[in-house]
Every structure is written in C-alpha cells, then in structure tokens.
Amino acid sequence: MKKKEGIIFTALLTCLVGAALIVSFSYNPKTRMVPVLVGCVSLILSLIVFLGEFFPQFRQLFEVDLFARDTIVEREKSVGRWDEKKGLFIAIFWVLLFAVLLFLVGFNIAVPVCVLVYVKFFGKQNWPVSLSVTALIWVFIYGLFQLIMDYTLFEGVLFGGIV
Amino acid sequence: MGLFEAMLISFFKAFEFQNLIFISLGTVIGLLFGCLPGLSSVVGLSLLLPLTFGMEPLSGMFLYAGVMGANPFGGSISAILINTPGTAVNVATCFDGYPMTQRGEAGRALGISATASGLGAMFGLVILIALIPVVRQTIMLFGPPEFLMFILFGLGSIVVASRGNMIKGLLGGGLGMLLASVGRSPITGSIRFSRDIQYFWDGIELIPFVIGMFALSEVINLTVTGKTKIATQKVETKISGVWEGVKDVFRHKACFIRSSAIGTLIGMIPGIGGATANFIAYTVAMQTSKHPEKFGTGIAEGVVAAESANNAKEGGSLLPTVGFGIPGSVEMAVLLGAFILHGLVPGPLLIKENLDIVWAIIWGLVFSNVLASTFGLLAAKILVRVSFIEVSIIIPVIAAISLTGAYANRGNIIDMLMAVMFGFFSYFMRRNGFPVITLVIGFVLGKLAEVSFFQSLMVSRGDYFIFFKRPLTVILLLLLLAVLIMPFVKRKGKHKETV
C-alpha cells in the first residue's frame, strides 16, 4: 500500500515537473532559461526517484544519514485512536470542510462550526469542554483580528464576501 | 548606520515597554511550542508571520527572536521530565536528562539545561557579534556569481544534512525553485505558469505557502496519527536541586565551551541545524570525557553538552541568514520570510542598511534566553503539563489560527485555499520521504538565484564560464561537489570496515 502510494506520488511529481518543462518552452529564451534548467534537472531527479520506487537497492544508493541519528534515537511509536487510513480520511474531510465553509460562509460561522465538529465528534470530548474550546478559539480570533487589529474577516461568498 | 550605533539603538528599543512585552510574549510562545513535542518553533513562527504584518519591523523581530530563543529550552523541559524531546534539537538531551529525572534529580537536570541553554546562546551570539564586522567585509567579496554558488552550496549541504534520500532532497529543492518561478519573471517581466489566472501573476505568496507547508501539514499529520495526547509518560512533580544543576555547568567548563563552539560552528553551515549540533556535541563530550561509560545513565556532562550546543547554534545560524540571505536552519528560513514580509531585503543589503534589525534579533535572543531560563525553571512543572493537553484540542486551535493567518496577510481568501493545498502537498511529501525543508528553501531562494544567475551573465557579457573563472566561485563549486560526494565516500569507508 505504502509502496503503491509512493509510486503514485512520484509519478504525479514527475508529470508536474514534465508539464512545467513543456510549458516553459513556450516562453522567450530569457524568461524560460532558469525554469528550463531547473525543470530538466528536476525531471531527471524525479525519474531517478521513480525508478527507485521499483528497485529498492537502487533507491538505497542515495539514502543518507551522515550523522547516524537513527542508531541513537529510538523513534516514538504513536498510539492512535484510529488507524492511519481512517485518520487520513478524517484529516482530508475536516480540513476541506473547514476551507469550503470559510469560503462559503466566512470566518464568523466556519471557525466555531469546524472547531466544534472536531473537538466534539473526532476528539470525543464532552459538551462542556467542546463548547468552551470552541468559544475560546472564536473569541481569540474575533478579538485579535476584528477588535484589536480592526481587521474585517472574510464574510463568505454567500454573505457578500468578494473574492 | 555604524555597528556600535545600531547596537545601542536596538538595545534601548528592546527596553521600550511594548518591545519588552513582545519579547516576553515570544518567550512564552517559544517555551509552549518547545514543550509540545511535534510543534516546533517553526510552527510557532509560521503562525506569527501574519499577525506581525502591521507591526513595526523592529518589534516584529523582537517577537520572533523571543520565540526562537526560548524554544530549545522549552523542548528540553519535556525531554528531561517525560523523555519526549519537545523539538528535534533536544533529542540528545533525553539520553541523560531523563535518567536524572528517574533518579529524582529532575530539578538538577533542569538547572543544567537552563544555565547551559542561556550561556550557550550567549556564547553563540558573542561569536556572531565578533564576526559581524568580518562578514561585512566578506560580503564585499561576493558578486552575483559567488552569491549564486553560495545559494547552491547552501541547498546542497541542506540536502546532505537532512536524513533520508538525497535525490528526493535535491528534487524538493528543484520543485521549490520551480514554484518560485511562478508569476512575473524578475528579468523580463513576462508572466510564467499562470495562464489567465491573475492570482498567480505576482507569484506564490510566501505566508500561505509557509503556513501550509509547516503548520497545516502538522495539523494533518497529528490527525492522521490519531494520537490522543502528545505525551503519555508520568510527569516528575518533585523539582529540587536546581542550584546544584547551575553549578554543574561551571564544574564542566571545558565541556560547555567545547560544545558551545561546536554548536556555533555547525549553526554557521547552512541547513545543518541544531539537531545535528546536539548529537555531535554529545558524541564529542562522550569521547573526551573521563567517564564515557556513564553517558546515557544520567550524567551531568551529557545534558551540558547537548543543551549548550543547541542554543549556541542560534548565533551561528544567524550569520549566513543575515549576512548572505541563506537560511542556516528551518527557523531561519521562516525568519527570511518575516524579513520579506516587513519589506526588508535578506542578504548583504540587510547587514549594510538595516543593522538595527540584525541587532534587534540579537538582543531579542539574549533577553529571551535570560527570560526563558528564569521563567522556565519557575514554571517547568506547569509548562510540561501542556504536553498532556488532548491533541483533539490542539489541532483545531492550530488549524483555525493558521487559516485565519493565511487569509489575513493580504485579505485574500484564495491565499487560505493555497495554504490548504500546500498543507496537503507538504503532508504527502513527508509521508513519502521527501524533506520539506529543501522545497521551502528552494522556494525562498529561487528568485534570488535567478536574479544572481542573470546578473552574473550580464557581468560576464553572456559568458557562462564566469562560474569557473573566479577563485571564490570555484572554491564554492568544489565545496558543493565535496558535500554531495561525502555521503558516498563515507558509506564506502563503512562498507570497507564491515568487510
């Protein structure tokens, strides 16, 4: 699973660099010089990384740990409340929800809603804790930006916010 | 502005009420983020970036310096009391700090840490102050070709110093430079990689980029791991023998001076940073000690070596950052972002024209170290309890501040969406073994590298061999090659040893 993910990620990076390189060629020589130079080197590097995903021995050739830190440090293993797959799903869902809500309804609604959703439903805290944390964060952000810094926070496109 | 004049101006500015508040606030933030394992000063500094936007640059620098100065000592508190290093620079502190706590000597270990941290930082800063006039002269030797080579050398040493796959590190640097080339070309003014999207015409904004790469990716990472609490071990509540710890540092003077010198020197090499300084100082202390067998069992020298080195490196890493605009560590990369945010040009111009800013950082670091050591010792028991706050409460706090900060920088909601995008990108990079730091440094230095490249060609009237004709560029090029080849040579040596 991890290997497959590594292959997909590296393939995406390679495509991204390749696309940037192709687009670069459409610019005039001075404008494209650095992107083409950096793009060519990056493309070669990404192809090497891509190959390394299939051939572990080849990948190990480039593994460096000059100061051999792993020999001394025992890495801490986390004890999670959920498995990695579920955690990733929750992270993607919640961060995207936060971003979309901020965009649509603005900070004054999105911040308390998303904080409450996380603390209560993912964090499994009781209602008093969840509501207190939500209120504290909202007061901090509203107080700091709107009251102290006199800064108008985005109201959301649904309430007249301009992008 | 003269060196002495700038020093005095910044010194008196530091004593202004508002600036004292900023230094103290930065110190508290630095201590808190230090105590919280996983949330380094980089996250703290990234969150502060948009909040300091409206501030006077000098005040902003006092705040940043407060965070940077206090962070390593904050990290040592959780390393000593719960065997969980608050930041990467405190890992070696656990080796002897925690066994001391287990023996009931937590107070003594904290006393050593507070004193060694404070004095170590002073050591590094004194060296920095002594070198500033020399750096001013050295900068005059640096033309655009030397500058470009120095940027490439900095990137190369960062790649090699960060543990993992070297090619992935180099690729990260390349991607960062490509991202930096989005928007208007600094040479021709033509728009690149933006098509008809007006948002990108001025390039990718630094603040949402940094917030996404560091703070939001940490939010995602903490959510994915699903940890309930950052630290789980029992806290030692009995803190006594602090004064004994203070005396320990003076008992091991040689170890302190040697480790501080190692920290300062390593800090000066771009990208290597405190984690390495911490380990090398610890290893050297072990090799030169009369009791090497006692290292790891709770020996005072171990804590002295680790803590003095990781604080002394701050002074060292400021040198390439303010002198050449090449960040000495990840924190310094964010600090470069702060310079840009406040309209300051990192690099040679900063040291020539804004010496008061450089001094503000130095004084900020001095005061925050003194404050952190004093306050940290008094409040260590309370601070370490921060590590036991539920992660489910920390995550939404960081996310809400990050997203608000990303927006507030320019009042553009697309910046917030960009931060989210970079947050995911950074998380998947880390997950697949790509070092994020090379990408960030590539991004920060990308435009500077491009300008230096074209300036070099203008100087040489289009002759590409200019990079091979000047003594300093040749030296830097050879150094770059040596840095890139070093891991392979070292591996071959190890292979021979095992055979």
What is the sign, positive or negative, of the torsion defined by CA atoms of B49, B50, B55, B56? positive
**Which sequence spans correspond to the domains of chain B?**
3-498
User: Could you tell me if B227 and A80 are in contact, meaning their C-beta atoms sit under 8 angstroms apart?
Assistant: yes
User: Could you tell me if B365 and B121 are in contact, meaning their C-beta atoms sit under 8 angstroms apart?
Assistant: yes
The predicted pLDDT at position B274 comes to 59
Residue of A66, A83, A118 with shortest CB distance to B160: A66
3-state secondary structure of B343: coil
Q: Tell me, yes or no, if B170 comes closer than 8 A to chain A by beta carbon.
A: yes
Contacts of B202 (CB under 8 A, 6+ apart): B183, B184
| Binary contact (B170, A90; C-beta < 8 A) | no
DSSP labels, A48-109: HHHHHHH-HHHHHTTEE-TT-GGGTPPPPPP-BSS-HHHHHHHHHHHHHHHHHHHHHH-HHH
* Residues of chain B numbered 45-74 and touching chain A (CB < 8 Å): 51, 54
- Chain A residues in contact with B228 by the CB 8 A cut-off are 79-81
CA nearest to A36, candidates A50, A47, A25: A25
CA distance B3 to chain A (A): 34
User: Could you tell me if A163 and B413 are in contact, meaning their C-beta atoms sit under 8 angstroms apart?
Assistant: yes
- Chain B residues in contact with A100 by the CB 8 A cut-off are none
The predicted pLDDT at position A71 comes to 38
CA distance B314 to B75: 15
The predicted pLDDT at position B235 comes to 58
CA distance A53 to A69: 24
- Chain A residues in contact with B390 by the CB 8 A cut-off are 123, 125
Per-residue pLDDT of chain B (499 residues; tens, 9 = 90+): 677 788 888 888 888 888 889 999 999 888 888 877 666 778 888 888 877 777 888 888 888 888 888 888 888 887 888 776 777 777 788 888 888 887 778 888 888 988 898 898 889 888 888 887 777 677 677 788 988 888 888 777 767 666 667 888 889 989 999 999 999 998 888 999 987 888 998 899 888 898 898 889 988 988 988 776 655 556 555 666 778 888 888 999 999 999 999 888 878 876 565 566 777 788 788 878 888 778 888 889 989 998 898 888 888 888 888 777 777 677 888 888 888 778 787 777 777 777 888 888 888 888 888 888 887 777 776 766 666 778 888 889 889 988 988 888 788 899 999 999 999 999 999 898 888 878 887 887 788 889 889 999 988 888 888 888 898 899 989 988 887 887 777 777 766 766 6
CA distance B303 to B294: 12
Between A and B, how many CB-CB pairs are < 8 A?
220
Confidence class of residue A10 from pLDDT cuts 50, 70 and 90?
very high
- Chain B residues in contact with A81 by the CB 8 A cut-off are 226-228
Six-digit token pair at B257?
Answer: 């001076």
CA nearest to B440, candidates B28, B128, B23, B49: B49
| Binary contact (A27, B192; C-beta < 8 A) | yes
**What ipTM does this complex have?**
0.91
Neighbours of A23 (CB within 10 A): 15
Residue of B188, B216, B392 with shortest CB distance to A125: B392
DSSP labels, B40-77: -HHHHHHHHHHHTTTS-HHHHHHHHHHHHHHHHHHHHH
Q: What is the pLDDT of residues B238-276, one digit of tens each?
A: 666 778 888 888 999 999 999 999 888 878 876 565 566
User: Could you tell me if B467 and B473 are in contact, meaning their C-beta atoms sit under 8 angstroms apart?
Assistant: yes
| Binary contact (A103, B280; C-beta < 8 A) | no
pTM of the prediction?
0.80
Q: Tell me, yes or no, if B398 comes closer than 8 A to chain A by beta carbon.
A: no
3-state secondary structure of B111: helix
Residue of A63, A88, A95 with shortest CB distance to B423: A95
Burial category of B461 from C-beta neighbours within 10 Å (exposed 0-12, middle 13-18, buried 19 and up): exposed
Alpha helices for B162-272 (secondary structure H): 166-180, 206-210, 217-225, 242-251, 253-268
The predicted pLDDT at position A68 comes to 47
User: Could you tell me if B290 and B252 are in contact, meaning their C-beta atoms sit under 8 angstroms apart?
Assistant: no
What's the whole-number mean pLDDT along residues A10-39? 93
Residue of B188, B392, B411 with shortest CB distance to A30: B188
Q: What is the pLDDT of residues A88-137, one digit of tens each?
A: 999 999 999 999 999 999 999 999 999 999 999 998 889 999 999 999 99
CA distance B216 to B374: 32
Q: Tell me, yes or no, if B451 comes closer than 8 A to chain A by beta carbon.
A: no
| Binary contact (A82, B399; C-beta < 8 A) | no
- Chain A residues in contact with B279 by the CB 8 A cut-off are 67, 69, 72
